[in-house]
């Protein structure tokens, strides 16, 4: 009792145990908020009166346990050790006693009178739990009370338990846990040699357990006391006992040893005192499938493929809209010419702007579709299962499970994937992950490629997409074989624990907001790149004579064509491939300019009759054969992602050498792939 004749109650509990609610309800407006001396942790004190007795309530900082790993825990311990509290009220969440009683278990061995408050008993009741409070009290030897903060009637029980704890000075029974601790050899030894009255209020049971855990302040106190007593033999015995619980292989062995006993003690405590309805721990049907060792992978692959096919459906209206925009080209050109607009400007507007815009709108359809379908998969919880299934595949690539996330992010953007490798602490693994992430088709690829595939292959486009995914897996496997040995040493792989999110229904409004936002962002980004590249190539294709043969683009293009033919690409598609290194959208910019038909830059002479077709889709279809188209699509897909991804790779790897190696590898790889695809295409069509 403090000098003012008040009884001091300290509230002890884990975060979210309802401490603050109780504190506010007890003290009302009579509160004082400050800081604990020398710490940035908030100190809250308050007052109340009950039955003519004054009480002071101290809200101890919320912490997981009473170890010395944080400021909060040290403050709590010091406060209790300071003897300032007459009684400690320990809070636990009734709805999950197995975990929330850990604080109580860690309090065992402290001699300050206490009582247990089982908060949120209403939730536990809803779950069908029955808590035999009297039996629990008997086992613990302290008052215990079922409580739920919002219910006024509970406060009577609270005041009753408080009064009993204060008047009877009840201390928590430590014998059961002491017995469990005694299974640890070092515990018994340490307990036997502890000096008396080492820390006021803390019994040898608590102190020896903390010493086994390697608790810094406790060990320091014991060492100091033993040194002061000058008993060299005892000191050596202590050090020997300590050494036995801090092996090199498992640094935290002591913590695990006592921790396991504390949980076992909780289980013993709850065994006859708490009954709950038998819980079905069976996995849901879909989880049984996704986590199946054999069927998990096929299930995930089929899900992804179906998702991709499904994403074509919302894209169709955009395709029609984009083509409609493209068809505006001829009327606009006529209108402008009729209005006496200079030929140059007419060409710029119709060839660069309208064509590009038509293309971009078609692309956005796929951005919208893919974002919607995969956003939905993520929202309902399937994405997490996909990442779970592929996690174990990572070891086949020489990687840790941590690489799954960067790969998934790379489907959106390779830069994001590269930044995501920061969770990987091993440099070689990090570089390898980035090198492999480049093979993952990014968001821009998902915009450009399905659209191009639809132009040339129509309903066969999903097949092209499936082929791209198959090649991606092969590419990643091959790349890991090529670079793996240089970057990753075969080391022990540590498994990961995953808490899969529960399945839930999608929030459609939020999902659509997200998808539309992403589509809008993509639109402006793509618009910039496409228009810039289209304009650049339009300039290059311009000649004073008006003849394409005199333009710089044509001269360079035809000069390099013998070389580009090696990969099955004409000079036009090769130029588009080169532009795709800057950003995948660049390819579209080039195509829309080079293949534009008439006007100042007359490609008609190059491309013959086809140039008269009004629509770019038809133009492409007529001037580029399917084998070349396939070669081109694959070359663009597996080319380096973009110039910014290159910068991101350098930023994350801090290695110009490896950034250059990866970039060169992807450029060459894309061309080899194009060559192979072209020759396969020749056999097919």
Partner 1 sequence: MEEILALLKDGRSRSVEMLAKELGTSPEDIRRKIEFLEQAGIIRRLAETPAAASPCAACHGSSSCAGCPGCCPAEGLKNMGTRWVVQEA
Residue 240 or 491 with smaller CB distance to partner 1? 491
Phi (first) and psi of residue 160, to 5 degrees: -65, -50
Q: Count of CB atoms within 10 A of residue 330's CB?
A: 17
Site string for partner 1, 614-653 (x = CB under 8 A): ------------------------------x--xx--xx-
Site string for partner 1, 362-391 (x = CB under 8 A): -------------x--xxxx-xx--xx--x
Best CA proximity match to 516, nearest among 364, 334, 657, 394: 364
Q: Which is nearer to partner 1, 3 or 425 (CB)?
A: 425
- Other beta carbons within 10 angstroms of residue 393's beta carbon come to 17
The residues, any chain, with a CB within 8 Å of residue 571's CB and separated by 6 or more, are 556, 557, 558, 560, 561, 564
Told to check if 64 binds partner 1 by CB under 8 A, we report: yes
For partner 1, the binding residue among 420, 589, 627, 681 (CB under 8 A) is: 420
Candidates 2, 16, 35, 69; binder of partner 1 (CB under 8 A) is: 69
Least Å distance between CB 302 and partner 1?
A: 20
Q: Is 501 a binder of partner 1 (CB under 8 A)?
A: yes
505 binds partner 1 (CB under 8 A): no
Q: Is 65 in the site for partner 1 (CB under 8 A)?
A: yes
Pair of tokens at residue 286: 């879909």
Closer Cβ to partner 1, 279 or 545, answer by number: 279
- Counting contacts by CB under 8 A, is residue 422 touching partner 1? yes
Give yes or no for residue 412 binding partner 1 (CB under 8 A).
Answer: yes
Q: Closer CB to partner 1, residue 100 or residue 329?
A: 100
Interaction residues for partner 1, span 431-470 (CB under 8 A)? 443
Residue 495 sits in the site that holds partner 1 (CB under 8 A): yes
Q: Per DSSP, which regions of 121-215 are E strands?
A: 130-131, 144-146
- What is d(CA 391, CA 383) in angstroms, rounded to the nearest whole number? 12
Residues 287-346 that bind partner 1 (CB under 8 A): 287, 291
Given the structure tokens 């040893």, which residue do they identify? 257
Among 189, 402, 430, 584, binds partner 1 (CB under 8 A): 402
Alpha carbon dihedral 475, 481, 483, 486, in 10-degree steps, equals: 170
Q: Is 280 in the site for partner 1 (CB under 8 A)?
A: no
Alpha-carbon distance of 673 to 475, in angstroms, equals 10
Q: What span, in angstroms and rounded, lies between the C-alpha atoms of 275 and 308?
A: 48
Sign of CA dihedral 256, 257, 258, 261: positive
φ and ψ of 386, to 5 deg: -65, -45
Closest contact distance (angstroms) between CB of 433 and partner 1 is: 11
List C-alpha distances in Å: 502 to 240, 245, 434, 499, 601. 48, 39, 30, 9, 59
**680 makes contact with partner 1 (CB under 8 A):** no
Question: Exposed, middle or buried, 497 (CB in 10 Å: 0-12/13-18/19+)?
Answer: exposed
**Interface region with partner 1, contact rule CB under 8 A, candidates 302-310, 332-340, 509-517, 560-568:** 509-517
**Angle at 41 (CA atoms; ends 37, 47), nearest 5 degrees:** 80
- Binding span for partner 1 by CB under 8 A among 331-339, 397-405, 461-469, 548-556: 397-405
Among 50, 171, 525, 565, binds partner 1 (CB under 8 A): 525
DSSP string covering 410-479 = HTT-HHHHHHHGGG---HHHHHHHHHHHTTS--HHHHHHHHHHHHHHHGGGHHHHHHHHHHHHHHHHHHH
Question: Smaller CB distance to partner 1: residue 15 or 150?
Answer: 15
DSSP-derived letter for residue 353 is I
Q: Does 660 bind partner 1 (CB under 8 A)?
A: no
Q: What binding mask, one character per residue, do residues 230-259 give for partner 1 by CB under 8 A, x or -?
A: --------------------xxx--xx--x
- Tell whether residue 263 is a contact of partner 1 (CB under 8 A): yes
Return the structure tokens found at 92. Answer: 């636990």
Contact call for residue 416 and partner 1 (CB under 8 A) = yes
Distance CA 432, CA 421 (A): 10
Q: Which position among 163, 349, 498, 539 is part of the footprint of partner 1 (CB under 8 A)?
A: 498
Binding of residue 89 to partner 1 (CB under 8 A): no
């Amino acid at each position: 009792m403090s000098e003012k004749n008040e009884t001091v109650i300290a509230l002890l509990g884990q975060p979210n145990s309802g401490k603050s609610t109780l504190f506010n309800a007890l003290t009302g407006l009579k509160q004082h908020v400050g800081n604990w001396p020398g710490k940035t942790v908030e100190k809250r004190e308050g007052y109340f009166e009950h039955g003519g007795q004054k009480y002071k309530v101290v809200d101890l900082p919320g912490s997981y346990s009473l170890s010395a790993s944080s400021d909060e825990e040290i403050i709590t311990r010091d406060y209790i050790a300071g003897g300032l509290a007459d009684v400690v009220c320990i809070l636990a969440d009734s709805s999950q006693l197995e975990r929330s009683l850990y604080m109580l278990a860690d309090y065992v061995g402290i001699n300050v009178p206490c009582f247990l408050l089982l908060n949120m008993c209403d939730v536990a009741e809803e779950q069908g739990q029955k808590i035999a409070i009297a039996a629990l009290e008997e086992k613990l030897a302290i008052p215990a009370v079922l409580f739920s903060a919002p219910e006024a009637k509970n406060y009577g029980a609270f005041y009753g338990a408080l009064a009993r704890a204060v008047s009877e000075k009840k201390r928590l029974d430590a014998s059961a846990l002491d017995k469990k601790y005694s299974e640890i050899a070092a515990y018994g030894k340490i307990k036997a040699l502890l000096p008396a009255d080492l820390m006021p209020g803390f019994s040898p049971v608590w102190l020896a357990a903390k010493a086994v855990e390697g608790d810094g302040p406790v060990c320091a106190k014991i060492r100091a006391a033993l040194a002061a007593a000058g008993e060299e033999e005892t000191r050596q015995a202590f050090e020997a006992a300590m050494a036995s619980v801090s092996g090199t292989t498992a640094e935290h062995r002591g913590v695990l040893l006592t921790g396991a006993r504390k949980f076992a003690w909780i289980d013993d405590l709850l065994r006859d005192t708490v009954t709950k309805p038998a819980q079905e721990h069976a996995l849901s049907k879909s989880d049984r499938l996704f986590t199946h060792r054999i069927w998990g992978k096929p299930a995930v692959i089929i899900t992804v493929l179906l998702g991709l096919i499904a994403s074509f459906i919302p894209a169709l209206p955009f395709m029609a809209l984009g083509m409609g925009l493209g068809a505006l080209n001829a009327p606009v050109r006529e209108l402008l010419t009729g209005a006496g607009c200079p030929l140059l400007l007419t060409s710029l507007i119709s060839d660069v702007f309208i064509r590009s815009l038509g293309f971009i709108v078609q692309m956005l359809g796929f951005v919208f579709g893919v974002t919607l379908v995969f956003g939905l998969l993520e929202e309902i919880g399937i994405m997490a299962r996909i990442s779970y299934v592929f996690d174990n595949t990572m070891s086949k690539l020489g990687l840790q499970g941590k690489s799954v996330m960067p790969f998934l992010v790379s489907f959106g953007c390779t830069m994001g994937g590269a930044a995501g490798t920061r969770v990987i602490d091993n440099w070689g693994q990090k570089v390898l992950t980035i090198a492999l992430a480049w093979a993952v088709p990014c968001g821009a690829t998902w915009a450009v490629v399905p659209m191009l595939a639809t132009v040339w292959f129509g309903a066969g486009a999903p097949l092209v997409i499936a082929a791209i995914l198959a090649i991606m897996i092969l590419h990643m496997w091959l790349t890991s074989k090529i670079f793996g040995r240089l970057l990753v040493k075969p080391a022990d792989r540590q498994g990961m624990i995953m808490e899969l999110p529960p399945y839930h229904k999608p929030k459609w409004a939020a999902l659509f907001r997200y998808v539309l936002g992403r589509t809008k962002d993509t639109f402006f980004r793509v618009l910039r790149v496409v228009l810039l590249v289209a304009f650049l190539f339009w300039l290059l294709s311009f000649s004073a004579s008006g003849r394409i043969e005199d333009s710089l683009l044509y001269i360079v293009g035809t000069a390099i064509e013998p070389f580009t033919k090696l990969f099955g690409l004409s000079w036009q598609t090769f130029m588009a491939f080169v532009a795709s290194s800057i950003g995948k959208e660049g390819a579209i910019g080039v195509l829309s300019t080079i293949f534009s038909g008439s006007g100042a830059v007359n490609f008609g002479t190059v491309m013959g009759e086809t140039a008269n077709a009004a629509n770019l889709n038809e133009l492409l279809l007529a001037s580029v054969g399917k084998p070349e188209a396939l070669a081109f699509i694959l070359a663009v897909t597996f080319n380096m992602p973009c110039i910014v991804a290159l910068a991101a790779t350098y930023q994350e790897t801090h290695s110009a050498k490896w950034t250059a190696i990866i970039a060169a590898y992807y450029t060459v790889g894309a061309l080899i792939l194009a060559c192979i695809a072209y020759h396969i295409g020749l056999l097919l069509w």
